[in-house]
Structure 1
Amino acid sequence: MSDTIAVEIKQLPHAEGLPLPAYQSAHAAGLDLCAANSADAPLLLAPGSYVLVPTGLTIALPENYEAQVRPRSGLAAKHGVTVLNAPGTIDADYRGEIGVLLINHGDAPFTIRRGERIAQMVIAPVVRAELIGVETLSETARGVGGFGSTGR
């Protein structure tokens, strides 16, 4: 697998003037996504509420790739704001606008301003599974032990 892949991206009119998603460091896994709401209409995210934030971007991923929309750790740690359906999945055949579903788990309202970095997008390869029905599964040391079964 090569170090880079080509991903076509289109800015919609309401994203004019905003930067394209970008890696913020040499080894960053995610490209930061910015809010493309109107500068005249910041989005107020009350505690416990959620909102779909437009990015003004559409992409064309290569076959056998996906884009994952993930939270930004700083927003989560400082404000309790995170991606509700993390990770959100963008399939290779989707051509609509990328939206970021943010939720405020914090105690204070949070204002989302135009151009603010609100999430990160990670491009990842996809392996499709062929499911095979069986009567029994192979045994393992863990067996059916689930939540908390391997420790605290």
Structure 2
Amino acid sequence: MGNTDASFLINDPQQSISNLAFSDFSIKNKLVTNFSFISSKQDKSNDDQLNFTSSYPTIVNIIATKMYASQFGEIGEFVITRTGDTTQDLIVKYTIHGTAENGVDYQSIANFVTITAGASEVAILIQPQKSDYEGSRTVLLTLDNLYNSIQYMLGANIHAVVNILNS
């Protein structure tokens, strides 16, 4: 961690390393995401080698690009963005909160989206339903942290709100 260097040297063939774990391990500000251990006993050398692949982590954020919606035609919009590797689909999970009821006050939305390969963002539309309710209601989306996963990390913007106006 930090500026600490680490090395592993085994000169005795009877010694071994097992259950080696790293947390927040990075090299030159790149998160190390893949490790492999290469034993050189097959190539008749006395040294073993630890290889790794590093990459920038995928960071996800959410913003409300259209913060107001109404049953009179205005549609609200959230946009979830990602940085990092865009070569594969990325499923981003979120929790739906707020005073507006999903599927009642606005057309139903799922609690996840897929950012497709090649794309860096996806929109979630909030389309209000006809209602006799007067006043405003809110739709709050909060990005979910995936525990024990390296699929993505949360950025600075993990909450966003769309207001549904019915007056």
TM-score (norm 2): 0.34
Asked which structure has the greater CA Rg, the reply is 2
TM-score (norm 1): 0.36
Structure with more contact order per residue of length (Cα contacts < 8 Å, sep ≥ 6)? 1
Please state which structure has a larger fraction of its residues in strand. 2
Please state which structure has a larger fraction of its residues in helix. 1
